[in-house]
Structure 1
Amino acid sequence: MSQMIIDVSVHLSDKAAKSAQSTWERPLLNRIHTPHTHGSSAISIEEQISQMDSAGITAALLVATKVGRVGLPGTWQVDPETVLSATKKYKGRFFGLMGIDPFSGMNGVKELEKYVLDHGFVGAHVVPHWFGMRPDDARLFPFYAKCLELDIPIQIHIGSALVHSPSQPLLSLGDPTSLDEIAYTMPFLKMVATNSGWPWIEELVSASNKHENIYVVVDKHPVSAMGGPLLNFIKSWGINRILFGADFPSATYKEVLAEIDQLDLSEKVKPRLMAQNAVELYKLPL
């Protein structure tokens, strides 16, 4: 049997999703992608599945993305019903992640609970800097508490912020030290740091070393370009807390998997990174 691959970081890229990004600068959408990626082109959900099939991707976690407060320039919020529809149509290939808007308050907490308990979403996802917050902002703690209660992981964007819309400048508030208080306050909350923490890679590795409930998604940036600390983490004591993500459609599976192949990972490490940790953490029925 071929090795399973679970992509824990996938976003919708169809026409509806792209139209929701209408205020984003198209040069930015193209600039943040390499020549091998999709840029600002729309990709249907059927095409996403086709690309997964071609690359040997077993399953993916599909995010009901929420970035930016409703009404502000650059805001992009995906209707979770769209993600739910994809998980039903492609059962066992897509699993839903509920996006978090901290300004939605308790209504947002109830929405998270609904999609997990009633519709089988397997986790949550938040990009705090899009709301002008650090991950340890008090307004996020009700969501963290609900994730803890539901026993689901929450993906938290850790790393720098890009300028998606000049009319809404985003500060880089996602440094890994912001996870410290959360980890102490909720030591059993499963936090999944996305984007490999770039450019604060060493700080993220240190945070994961300090707190066993901090996991790291190896995504967005080529591992070979990020230096030794992350690679050492992957190959040694971080073996049970690493997850694979392509951040689709920011990168194509072809280029990301080629990058992974160049890391010369052992037969012990690679299955953990590519699937096993994700299956265990998210309790995927695979």
Structure 2
Amino acid sequence: MTGYAAIDMHVHVEVSADGHPSLPAHLMAASAAYFKVAGDARQPGVDEIAAYYRERRMAAVVFTVDAETATGHPPIASEEIADACAGHPGTLIPFGSVDPWRGRAAVRQARRLVERHGVRGFKFHPSLQAFSVNDRMAYPLYEQLEASGAIALFHSGQTGIGAGTPGGSGIRLRYANPLDLDDVAADFPDLRIVIAHPSFPWQDEALAVATHKPNVHIDLSGWSPKYFPPQLVRYANTLLADRVLFGSDFPVLTPDRWLADFAALDIRPEVRPKILHGNAARLLGLTAPGERADA
């Protein structure tokens, strides 16, 4: 038991305290159209996110994406997000984001975020950040994450960012093939990796990597469970029952919608609580009062 109804492993912060958006206007508009989410619902602040999840007796992993080199758009500061999360202990769990193209500066920033701001992991979006995850230029960054015990969460598969715009705004889907994470998992066996989303069109690749590499998890964010590929449901029920994680992709997909559809999914009763909170609690080292992290 964790004391949580659920732990959402995938929540985006898309506006800073002073109103700066996480994406350029044209990408934000395209994403909103793709997910059919608009207006204020598209950009809740950290305090609003905390209130939303606290009301539902859930915890949430929150982050932004730093893709400044690829997009030219300054990110929301991960330091700001982490410090705001500190005001909501037990509800919000801060992850950071660093631009892998910044080299040694990114490594130093990652270390500071963990040591000074309590960041528990890092979000990467290879398509938006325009890098191959197994490019050796990112390896010093992974070395730092592995040494600090931080989790590395990678977007995989299709993305709504840039969808429907001319040329997809230059965003290339090939960067998000989860098979490339096999190299990272092999070269950094103590780095805890999360493959985010059903990895369309590479679902089998994601399942193969996760079943072969025990340091790899899969989160189920970004899709309603009623659209999950059957092989993903089968593996979640069996070989990967201890390494599949609930994630919504809030605010573009709400946990209310996700959980309602998950209730109708053919998941074994003993596996359901693992996916909703048990696996994430173990991965994150979370406990309810009086419990052990490995309970």
Fold conserved (TM > 0.5)?
Answer: yes
Q: Distance in 2 between matches of 1:137 and 1:258?
A: 39
Say what the alpha-carbon RMSD is for the aligned residues.
2.4
Kept in 1: contact 2:198–2:220 (CA 8 A) = yes
The 5 A counterparts of 1:53-202 are 53-54=54-55, 56-69=56-69, 72-73=71-72, 75=73, 77-162=75-160, 164=162, 166=166, 168-172=169-173, 173-202=175-204
CA contact (8 A) 1:159 1:197 kept: yes
Residues 184, 26 of structure 1: CA spacing in aligned structure 2 closer, same or farther, 3 A cutoff?
A: closer
SS at match of 1:77: coil
State the Cα deviation string for residues 113-137 of structure 1 (Å, max 9, x = none).
Answer: 1111222211111112223212111
Partner residue, 2:206: 204
Q: Tell me the number of residue pairs that the alignment of Structure 1 and Structure 2 aligns.
A: 282
Separation (CA, whole Å) in 2 of partners of 1:175 and 1:20: 23
Gaps of 5+ in 1: none
Q: Say which SS state the counterpart of residue 251 (structure 1) adopts.
A: coil
Which residue does 2:51 correspond to in 1?
50
TM-score by length of 2: 0.86
> Is the 1:3–1:271 Cα contact (8 Å) retained in structure 2?
no
Q: Render the CA deviation track for 1:164-206: whole Å, top value 9, x for unaligned.
A: 3658411112112101221221222211001222221111111
Partner residue of 2:283 out of 251, 273, 281: 281
The answer to whether 1:9 aligns with 2:10 is yes
Q: Which consecutive aligned stretches of 4+ in structure 1 deviate over 6 angstroms post-superposition? A: 37-40
Q: Distance in 1 between matches of 2:280 and 2:241?
A: 12
Task: Give the CA deviation at 1:13.
Answer: 3.5
TM-score normalised by L of structure 1? 0.89
2:262 maps to what in 1? 260
Q: 1:25 offset after TM fit, Å?
A: 4.1
The answer as to whether partners of 2:54 and 2:91 remain within 8 angstroms in 1 is no
**C-alpha contact (below 8 Å) 1:38/1:249 kept by paired residues:** no
Asked if the contact 2:15–2:76 (Cα under 8 Å) also holds between the matched residues in 1, the reply is no
Structure 1 position 40, deviation (Å):
6.7
- Structure-1 separation of matches of 2:112 and 2:214: 28
Q: Is the 8 A contact 1:158 1:194 kept in 2?
A: yes
Shift of 1:278: 1.1
